[in-house]
């Protein structure tokens, strides 16, 4: 594996010691590795996605320059289109019924950027939406800018599939869109139980035969 993959937990722990009395716990945070959870129930497919900021935009410090902000906004908008990132066979006839994506900063749970997307009209990422969020961001100044923070992009999606049994592969165009991402840990729940997979950049396809 590439050498810049690292477990950055100690750093985050240092950042967290500021809050003394509370319960202190942090999720593992590993650069290069994202997570995708998929659950099937009838015609509904629920997906959850999570990846470190380093994978998606290449940095995890708090965005201060306009350039960084634009990068985050673009990434959040891209992550709101799950079927462009995690492609399912056309025969499954899936459409997005609900999609949201956000950037979460680990040490304070601040939502820096949020992108809600309620219908599956994918072309409708109008610019004013982004601007509104950018403005909103401006007067929400964070006081922990100096702390070595880690952040993660998250997405939650609901798909409606006419024929979910036709989903025999998942193709991860995600790796083409985000060149810093190396691996995704996938967990899939089907009526036959739960299974875990690792999908890597070299082989961005996941065969799901025999799960239905």
- The residues of the shown chain that bind another protein, judged by CB under 8 A, are 23, 25, 37, 39-41, 44, 46, 48, 158, 187, 189-196
Min CB(195)–another protein separation in Å: 6
Say how many C-beta atoms besides its own lie within 10 A of residue 30's C-beta: 19
Least distance (Å) between residue 152 CB and another protein: 13
Pick between residue 146 and residue 196 the one whose CB is nearest to another protein.
196
Helices (H), 4-162: 9-16, 53-56, 66-79, 82-85, 127-138
Taking the complex as a whole, how short is the minimal distance between the CB of residue 39 and another protein, in angstroms?
A: 5
Q: What is the number of other CB atoms lying within 10 angstroms of the CB of residue 43?
A: 14
Give min distance, CB of 30 to another protein, in A.
Answer: 16
User: What is the Cα–Cα distance from 184 to 163, expressed in whole angstroms?
Assistant: 25
* Closest to another protein by CB, 25 or 64: 25
Q: Which residues pair with 23 in a beta bridge?
A: none
Nearer to another protein, 69 or 120 (CB): 120
8 A C-beta contact, residue 137 and residue 68: no
């Amino acid at each position: 594996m590439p050498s810049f993959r690292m477990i950055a937990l100690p750093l985050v722990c240092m950042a967290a010691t500021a809050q003394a009395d509370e319960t202190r716990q942090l999720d593992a945070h590993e650069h290069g590795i994202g997570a995708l959870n998929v659950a099937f129930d009838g015609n509904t497919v629920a997906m959850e996605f999570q990846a470190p900021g380093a994978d998606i935009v290449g940095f995890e410090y708090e965005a201060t320059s306009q350039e960084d902000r634009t990068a985050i906004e673009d990434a959040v908008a891209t992550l709101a289109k799950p079927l462009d990132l995690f492609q399912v066979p056309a025969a499954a006839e899936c459409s997005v019924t609900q999609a949201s994506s956000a950037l979460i900063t680990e040490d304070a749970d601040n939502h820096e950027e949020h992108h809600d997307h309620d219908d599956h009209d994918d072309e409708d990422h109008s610019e004013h939406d982004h601007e509104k969020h950018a403005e909103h961001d401006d007067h929400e100044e964070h006081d922990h800018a100096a702390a070595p923070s880690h952040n993660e992009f998250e997405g939650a999606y609901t798909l409606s599939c006419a024929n979910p049994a036709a989903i025999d592969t998942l193709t991860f165009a995600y790796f083409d869109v985000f060149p810093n991402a190396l691996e995704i840990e996938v967990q899939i729940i089907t009526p036959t139980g739960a299974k875990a997979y690792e999908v890597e950049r070299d082989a961005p396809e996941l065969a799901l035969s025999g799960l239905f």
